[in-house]
Structure 1
Amino acid sequence: MTDNAFSTLNLPAAQLDNLQQLGYQAMTSIQQQSLPLVLEGKDLIAKAKTGSGKTAAFAIGMLTNINPRDFGAQALVLCPTRELSTQVATEIRRLARYQQNIKVVVLCGGQSIGPQIGSLEHGAHIIVGTPGRIKDHLRKKTLSLARINTLVLDEADRMLDMGFYEDMEIIIGETPEQRQTLLFSATYPKKIKSLSAAFQREPVEVTVESIHSNAHIKQALYITSKDNKLYGLERILANYDVQSAVIFCNTIKVVKEVCEYLCQQGFSAKALHGDLEQRDRDQILVQFSHRSCSLLVATDVAARGLDIDDLEAVINFDLPRDPEIYIHRIGRTGRAGKEGLALAVFSDSEKYKVDAIAEYQAMPLDFEAIETLNSDKDAITEPPMVSLCIGGGRKEKVRPGDILGALTGDAGIQGKAVGKITVLDHVAYVAIERDVARQALKRLEQGKIKGRKFKVRRLR
C-alpha cells in the first residue's frame, strides 16, 4: 500500500469503495496534505489552483461530518462564480454516493430565486453557492446557517477580487463560532491573510507548488509604446498565426476596447467580463470551447471556470501586478504534456512587472521590440467550426446522442463533421464544421430531435 492511497485515511469502507468506483486511484498532492488535517477537524489554509483535486480535498472530509437524517444545512461552500459552484456541487454529489439521500443545493445568481426557495423548503445537507445569492436567501430568511459545522471558502482570492468581502463577512457571521473553516486560494495576497485572521482558528497552512513546469510553455514578450499596444497585439497574432487564444486584460473597460478593435480588424473575438448576463456568458464560453470563436478577451475573474483542455496560447495584453496571477494565467496553456505559448505585449511603464515576474519565476524573461516581428503575414482565418443553438436541453430530456443522431441519421452529414456537443438545462449547442453548417442547420430545422421540433439558430 502506498502512502498516497485513500485507504491510509480513516474513512468508512463504503466511502473507499465509492472512491475506487469513481476512479480516484491515489491522492493528489493537495489531498495528501489536506485530508488528514480536515479529518482531524482542523482549520486549513490551502494554496492550490484549479485542477489540483482540491474539491475532493475538502469534500471527502466534509461528508464524514454530515448526518443524513438531519435535513438542516450542515456544510456551506462559498464559490466566486456560478460555473465553479456547479462544478463543485456535481463533484460533491459523486463523492456522496456512498451515503443515501445526501442533498446538495446550488444557490447562485443568474437563476430565478423561486425554485431555489422550493429546494430549500425540502431540506438540504450541503449548500454550494455564490456570496451574493446566499446573502439574498439569508435576508429573505429562506436559509438558516445556524447548524453549519464545515465552512469552505473556495477560490477565496477570486471572491475578494470580485468585492465579496462584506457579503462573506455577513454570511460567516450567521454560522456557529464552533465550526471548521477551510480556505482554498490559488494565490496568497495580504487580503487572504486578513480574511484568515478574522474567520479561522489556528489554521494549518498547506501549499501545493503552483508554479508549473515551464518546459512545455514558450514565453515571448514584446515591448512597445502605450499607444501602440493594440497594433502590437495584432502583430503578435499575425506573426504566431494564433488560431485559439485567451487574451487577458486587467479591467472590463480594456476588455471591451481590445475586443472591439479586434472585431474591427476582422478577427473572430468575444469579450468575457463580469457585466455580462449569465446566458450570454454561457454562450460565449460554449462558442470558444467549440472553436467557433477564435479569441476570448477576458478579465481574470471572468475566466474562472473556463476549462479548455487544449488551449493553444495565452496572451497578456495587460500584465498583472501580481506575478502569481501571471503564472496562473499562462498555466492554462501547455497542459497534459502539450506545447503551450504564452505571449505578452507591454509598454515601458509596465517593465517593473516583467522584472517582478522574472524574479518570481527565478529565471530571466527576455523581451524584444514589437518591430522585430514579421508584419507581412495575414493573421485572419475564420474559426473552423460554427455553433448551432437548439432550444431544448437536459430538462427537455435532450442528450448529446439525440442531437448527433438527428444530424447524421439517414443520408445526413458525416459524423466527423460534428464537433463538441454541450447540453445545458434548457438549451443545447453543437459545433459543426463551417462548410456543412448551413446543411446541418437546415436538417435540424426541418427534422426532429427525440420526435420533437425545437427552434434552432446559428450563433454569430
Structure 2
Amino acid sequence: MAAVEEEETYEEYVPVRKRRMMEAQKILQRKGRGVVSATTDPNENGKTEAKPSLLVKASQLKKDAPEVSATEQMVRQELEMLERVSERKNLMSVRELAKGISYTEPMKTSWKPPSHIRNLTEKESDEIRKQWHILVEGDEIPAPIKNFKDMRFPDPILKKLKAKGITRPTPIQVQGLPVILSGRDMIGIAFTGSGKTLVFVLPLIMLALQEESRMGLGPGQGPLGLVVCPSRELARQTFDVVEEFTAVLREKGHPELRSMLCIGGIDMRSQLEVVKRGVHIVVATPGRLKDMLAKKKMTLDLCKYLTLDEADRLIDLGFEEDIREVFDHFKAQRQTLLFSATMPKKIQNFAKSALVKPVIVNVGRAGAANLDVIQEVEYVKAEAKIVYLLECLQKTPPPVLIFCENKADVDDIHEYLLLKGVEAVAIHGGKDQEEREFAIASFKAGKKDVLVATDVASKGLDFPDIQHVINYDMPAEIENYVHRIGRTGRCGKTGIATSFINKNQSETILLDLKHLLKEAKQRIPPVLATLDDPMEEAEELAKASGVSGCAYCGGLGHRISECPKLEHQKSQAIAGTRRDYFGSGGYGGEI
C-alpha cells in the first residue's frame, strides 16, 4: 500500500532547460503573445529542437553565397565612393525644386540646316564623327556640319571668321554648333585651344539677333543670354570675342546688340549704364553677377541661354552655391551649356541634373593633354630652380608663360627677371584689377616677353602666339597641369611645355604625369620611369570597372581610393574653408 502511494506521488524529473522554456511560455501567455517558442521548433515526434542561431545562419549564408573576387570587391568599393561624393544636391534652383517644376523637352529654335544636312542618315553622320574623332552621347543628336556656311551664319560673321584666319570649323565646332543652334542642352569636352569659345558665342549672338529683330529690348530689359566664367580675365577675353562679332554685324546694318562685362574690380555704375539701355548679352563672374541680381539691378526674366565656361572649375572651386542662386533668378526654361577641357564623370553626372535631354560632345578623353604640345620634364633641385629658369627661357623666342603655385613665388620670380633685364609682368589674386588688366594687355600686345602667374591664367585664357609654357612648380592636381600646358599649342600650332620636378612633389602627381606623358606618346624621363607604378597591377581593375585611373579627378596614375583631390576636399570640408583659385592663399575677395 505504501509503495502504491509512493508511485502516485512520484513526479517525473524535468530537465532545467525544459523548465526554463516552460516558464518563458507562461510569461509569454500572460503577456498575450502565444506559446510558440522563439528558440525551439517542434519536430514530427512532438519533441522540441533548438533553432540555429543568427550567427550560424549568417555563416551558412556566407558559405552558400557565390565567391566575389578581390577585383570585383574593389570595383564595388570604388562605385560606392563615387556615389558618396556625387550625393550632392542637384544643380537646380530652389524655386524649381520647391514647386516641382521640371522641363522634359529641349528649347525650340527657328534654325534649320540646309536640306542635304537634314537628309544625312545616322550612319553617314557617324562616319563624319569618326573622321573628326568626335564622341557623342544623347538622343536625337543633330548631324555634324563641316563648314560655317551650312550653319547659316550671316555674311558679316563669315567674313569676320575668314579675316581671323578661321576658314573651317574645329572638331568641337563641327558637332557643337549644330547641337546648340538647334536648341539642345550640351556638355562640351575638348582639349584647350580647340575653339570652344566660338561654339557658345556664335549661337548666343544669333539668338540675340533674332530676338532683337522680332521685338527689340526696352530700357532696363535683358539679358537674353548669360555666360558665367570662373575668373575675371577669362570673362574679359570672352566679352572681347562677343564685342568683335557684334561690332561687325552693327557695321553691316544689323540691329545693335549691347553686351556687358559683369566682373568685380570695375565700377558698378558703368555696368548699370548698359543695363538701363537694355542689354542683350552678359559675360560675368559669379560674385558680381550674384551681387547685381540680389540688389535687383538686373533680372533674368527674359534670359533663355546660359553657358558655364570651365564648368568643372566653377563647381570645384566652391562657386556651386553661387551658381544655384543664379539659377533661382530664371523665370522660365533656358538652354544650358557646360564647357571644359577636364570634366570627369562625377561632374558630368552632377551637371546633368541642370540639363534637359543633354548631348555630350567629347573630342578626345576628358582631361587628356593637347597632342600639339611637346611636354618636357626636368629634375631641378628647389634651390637651383630660379637660376635654371633663365636657361629655359632661351629655348624659344618670346612670349613665354611661367606658372607657380604661390603668390609669393610669382613676386620673387618677377623681381628676379626684372633684375636680369627681362621684360616681365606678373598676375595673381593679390593684385588689384587694374594691375591684372595691364599685365594681360601688355603681354598680349607683345610689349612684354614673359608673364609670371598663378593658376588664375591657366583656365581658358587665349594667348595665340605662346610657344613655351614653364611650370616652375608642378600643380597639386593633374587637371591644373592640363589647363596650364594648354596655353600653348593652340589652334593647330605646336608648343613646348617644360615642367620642373623634384622631391618636393607627391608621388601621386608624378605618377599622374608619367601616365599623361605615356598617353600623349611623349618621352618619359628616367626619374619618372623608375617610379613604382601601382597602376600596372591595377590593369585588371581598370578593365572590370571600365575606368582607367581615377573616376573622380581623371588622373591616370592613381585610383579613386588614393585621389589627392578627394583627400584635399575632405580636409577642406572639415576646416570649413575654400581653396584659393589663384594658388595657395586665401581668396582675397572675388575672383
- Give TM-score scaled by structure 1 length: 0.68
The match for 2:45 is: none
- The 3 A distance-change label for structure 1 pair 235 and 64 is closer
Identify if the C-alpha distance between structure 1 residues 250 and 191 changes in structure 2 by more than 3 Å, giving closer, same or farther.
farther
Q: Distance in 1 between matches of 2:282 and 2:317?
A: 20
2: CA distance, partners of 1:168 / 1:179: 14
**1:334/1:340 contact within 8 Å kept:** yes
Distance change >3 Å, CA 104–CA 270, structure 1 → 2: closer
For residue 30 of structure 1, what is the aligned residue in structure 2?
172
Residue of 319, 325, 330 corresponding to 2:474: 319
Alignment-derived partner of residue 436 in structure 1: none
From 341, 349, 352, give the equivalent of 2:496.
341
After superposition, where does 1:178-189 map in structure 2 within 5 Å?
178-189=333-344
Total equivalences in the alignment: 360
After superposition, the C-alpha distances for 1:400-456 in whole angstroms (9 at most, x for unaligned) are xxxxxxxxxxxxxxxxxxxxxxxxxxxxxxxxxxxxxxxxxxxxxxxxxxxxxxxxx
Say which of 18, 29, 54 aligns to 2:196: 54
Task: Report the alpha carbon displacement of residue 171 of structure 1 after superposing the two structures with TM.
Answer: 0.9
Deviations 1:48-96 (A, max 9, x none): 3554333332233334444112423221111232422422432452575
Q: Say yes or no: does 1:366 pair with 2:520.
A: no
Is the contact between residue 287 and residue 293 of structure 1 (CA under 8 Å) also seen in structure 2?
yes
Question: Equivalent residue for 1:276?
Answer: 431
1:86 to 1:96, Cα distance in 2 relative to 1, 3 A: same
Q: What CA distance in whole angstroms lies between the structure 2 residues aligned with 1:307 and 1:164? A: 23
1:130 to 2:285 alignment: yes
SS at match of 1:319: coil
- The reply on whether 1:43 has 2:185 as its aligned counterpart is yes
Question: Quick check: 1:59–1:92 contact (8 Å CA) kept in 2?
Answer: no
Q: Does 1:111 align with 2:266?
A: yes
Tell me, in whole angstroms, the C-alpha distance in 1 between the residues paired with 2:184 and 2:341: 20
Moved over 6 A (4+): none
The answer for the alignment partner of 1:413 in structure 2 is none
C-alpha separation between the residues in 2 aligned to 1:126 and 1:310?
Answer: 29
Equivalent residue number for residue 302 of structure 1: 457
The CA deviation at 1:275 is 2.0
Runs of 5+ consecutive residues of structure 2 not aligned to the other structure: 1-115, 118-144, 528-591
How many Å separate the matches in 2 of 1:60 and 1:239?
39
Q: Distance in 1 between matches of 2:360 and 2:461?
A: 27
For 1:194-343, what aligned pairs fall within 5 Å after superposition? 196-209=351-364, 211-214=369-372, 217-224=373-380, 228-238=381-391, 241-242=394-395, 244=398, 245-260=400-415, 268-304=423-459, 306-334=461-489, 340-343=495-498
Q: What's the TM-score, normalizing by structure 2?
A: 0.54
Pick closer, same or farther for the CA change 1:211–1:110 going to 2, 3 Å: same
Identity %: 34
CA distance in 2, matches of 1:267, 1:26: 38
Q: Partner of 1:75 in structure 2? A: 225
- Mark the runs of 5 or more structure 1 residues left unpaired by the alignment: 370-460
Partner of 1:159: 314
Distance in 2 between the 1:78 and 1:258 partners? 32
Assess, with a 3 A threshold, how the Cα gap between structure 1 residues 52 and 364 changes in structure 2: closer, same or farther: closer
Q: Which residue does the alignment assign to 2:82?
A: none
Aligned equivalents of 1:337, 1:194: Cα separation in 2: 31
> Using CA pairs below 8 Å that are at least 6 residues apart, which structure has the higher relative contact order?
2
Matches of 1:198 and 1:44, distance apart in 2: 12
| Contact 2:192-2:487 within 8 A present in 1 as well | no
Query: Cα distance 1:188–1:251, how it changes in 2: closer, same or farther (>3 A)?
Result: farther
Helix, strand or coil for the counterpart of 2:256? coil
CA offsets 1:386-410 (integer angstroms, 9 cap, x no match): xxxxxxxxxxxxxxxxxxxxxxxxx
Report the alpha carbon displacement of residue 170 of structure 1 after superposing the two structures with TM. Answer: 1.1
> What CA distance in whole angstroms lies between the structure 2 residues aligned with 1:222 and 1:312?
18
The amino acid of 1:75's aligned partner reads G
Q: Is the deviation greater in 360-369 or in 296-305?
A: 360-369
Match of 1:90 in 2: 243
CA distance in 2, matches of 1:49, 1:364: 17
